[in-house]
């Protein structure tokens, strides 16, 4: 995802998107791949994307220029800094652009089910596009119930960052038991318990340590095969919560809150990992670019995030999510739009240009191995995690990631502060709330 959109706001953006479902439910079914002028005719397509920083916009412009060189009859008009809400409003109003891009996969379920974003299966079939050039996890988060309404355009992959100076020769942990022991060993505190250096902060309020990212390391199945909430049914959630609370209690909840209030912003040089206030942290691949620019003197390494004891065979995988691109219902130049989407998501030069400029993971297997990738050595971890068959994502639903938001709120507001007396009942209650929301959304 782009550096100008904080990933910690993804949950809030997805929650806001819940209100967009009704705006995108009317019509839109069927094969629209033959609508509009033939791709070989002279025409101009309009493309909306969310990037806004100068270097990000320049990267997109370079990719569009490469497409125009290959398709000189198609001129591309780029419109930057567009949000999911603006996209959905344009579709609802019957005046959408030809191509749309979103930073989050959270709305894919909504867009696919409602037809707000066209089903791309007919386009894929006609162009004989081989989807196996994308890793399995990418294929999963760009479709919903067999309907592929999006294509992948760059990815965010999560792993473990560690400060080598603070580690003092220790190797990065591979299990959560090892992580916990090392976190305690590396933590430095004042006599009153105030945390000066945190070995590892388990709280979901710490940047990318959101429940979505860490609970998934336990192999948690967020939904049942029938599409219902699975918090009470999957013991992985209980195991994650018990680990989370145990380490928070070791620090002391009030000390954790105090530390969280004292640290800087995630996407500024005051980030505590960049300042040596945190020894280990789970974060996305984009942090390598921030380290280059904001903390070049910090000696750090990267590794896959840990897994629970007994699940060592899954080590090497990690949480994956990414930017998606598609063709909205009512696009006036659908055939030319598909040529642009196909080029942008499969052309190795284009993907590598994007990856180099934004510090994100390119999304085809060929681009992952391109010698033109010019990224820090620590970035290699994320390329390997992305390709690992044990990597995973959270499943799409017709109301976005509402189930993730509700679990995050539960952990933050009830579990970590110690307000839950009966965890089994609390998880059953949470299942009920999620299922009710899914039912209202048509799930």
* Span 171-180, pLDDT tens digits: 999 999 999 9
Structure confidence at residue 29 (pLDDT): 59
Dihedral of the alpha carbons of 6, 10, 11, 17, in degrees to the nearest 10: 130
| Range of the structural domain that residue 223 is part of | 158-314
Q: Could you tell me if 324 and 269 lie in one domain?
A: no
Count of domains observed in the chain: 2
**Residue 153: which H helix or E strand, with range?**
strand 151-163
Q: Could you tell me if 134 and 171 lie in one domain?
A: no
> Where would I find the H helices in 187-304?
211-214, 235-251, 253-262, 287-294
* Residue 6 pLDDT greater than 80, yes or no: no
Q: Quick check: is 367 in a domain?
A: yes
Structure confidence at residue 8 (pLDDT): 34
Q: Quick check: is 429 in a domain?
A: no
Q: Which of 289, 314, 339 is the last residue of a domain?
A: 314
What does the pLDDT average to over 309-321? Answer: 96
Q: Quick check: is 393 in a domain?
A: no
What does the pLDDT average to over 235-245? Answer: 98
Distance CA(28)–CA(276), nearest Å, equals 52
Q: Could you tell me if 129 and 229 lie in one domain?
A: no
Residue 224 dihedral angles phi and psi, to the nearest 5° = -75, 170
Of 38-52, 245-259, 388-402, the least confident: 388-402
pTM (2 decimals)?
0.89
**Angle 84-92/10-17 helices, nearest 10 degrees?**
20
């Amino acid at each position: 995802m782009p550096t100008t959109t904080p990933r910690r706001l993804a949950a809030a953006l997805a929650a806001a998107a819940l209100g967009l479902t009704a705006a995108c439910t009317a019509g839109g079914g069927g094969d629209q791949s033959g609508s509009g002028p033939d791709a070989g005719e002279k025409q101009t397509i309009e493309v909306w994307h969310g990037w806004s920083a100068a270097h990000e916009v320049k990267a997109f412009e370079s990719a569009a220029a490469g497409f125009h060189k290959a398709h000189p009859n198609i001129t591309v008009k780029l419109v930057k800094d567009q949000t999911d809400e603006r996209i959905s409003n344009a579709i609802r109003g019957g005046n959408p652009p030809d191509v749309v891009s979103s930073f989050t996969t959270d709305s894919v379920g909504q867009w696919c089910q409602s037809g707000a974003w066209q089903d791309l299966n007919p386009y894929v079939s006609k162009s004989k596009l081989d989807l196996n050039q994308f890793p399995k996890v990418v294929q999963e988060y760009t479709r919903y119930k067999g309907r592929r309404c999006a294509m992948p355009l760059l990815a965010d992959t999560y792993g473990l960052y560690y400060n080598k100076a603070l580690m003092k020769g220790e190797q990065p942990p591979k299990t959560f038991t090892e992580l916990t022991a090392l976190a305690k060993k590396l933590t430095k505190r004042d006599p009153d318990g105030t945390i000066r250096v945190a070995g590892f902060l388990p709280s979901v309020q710490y940047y990318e340590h959101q429940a979505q990212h860490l609970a998934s390391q336990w192999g948690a199945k967020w939904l049942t095969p029938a599409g219902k909430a699975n918090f009470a049914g999957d013991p992985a959630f209980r195991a994650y919560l018990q680990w989370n609370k145990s380490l928070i209690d070791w620090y002391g909840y009030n000390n954790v809150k105090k530390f969280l209030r004292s640290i800087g912003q995630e996407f500024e040089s005051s980030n505590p990992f960049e300042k040596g206030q945190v020894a280990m942290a789970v974060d996305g691949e984009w942090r390598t670019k921030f380290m280059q620019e904001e903390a070049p003197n910090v000696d750090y390494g990267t590794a896959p995030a840990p897994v629970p004891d007994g699940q060592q065979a899954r080590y090497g995988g990690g949480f994956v999510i990414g930017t998606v691109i598609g063709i909205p219902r009512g696009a006036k130049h659908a055939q030319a739009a598909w040529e642009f989407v196909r080029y942008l998501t499969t052309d190795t030069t284009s993907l590598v240009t994007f990856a180099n400029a934004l510090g994100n993971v390119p999304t085809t297997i060929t681009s992952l191995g391109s010698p033109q990738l010019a990224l820090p050595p620590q970035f290699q971890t994320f390329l390997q995690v992305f390709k690992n068959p044990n990597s995973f994502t959270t499943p799409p639903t017709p109301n976005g990631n509402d189930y993730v938001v509700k679990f995050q709120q539960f952990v933050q507001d009830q579990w970590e502060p110690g307000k839950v007396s009966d965890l089994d009942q609390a998880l059953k209650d949470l299942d009920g709330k999620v299922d009710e929301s899914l039912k209202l959304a048509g799930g």
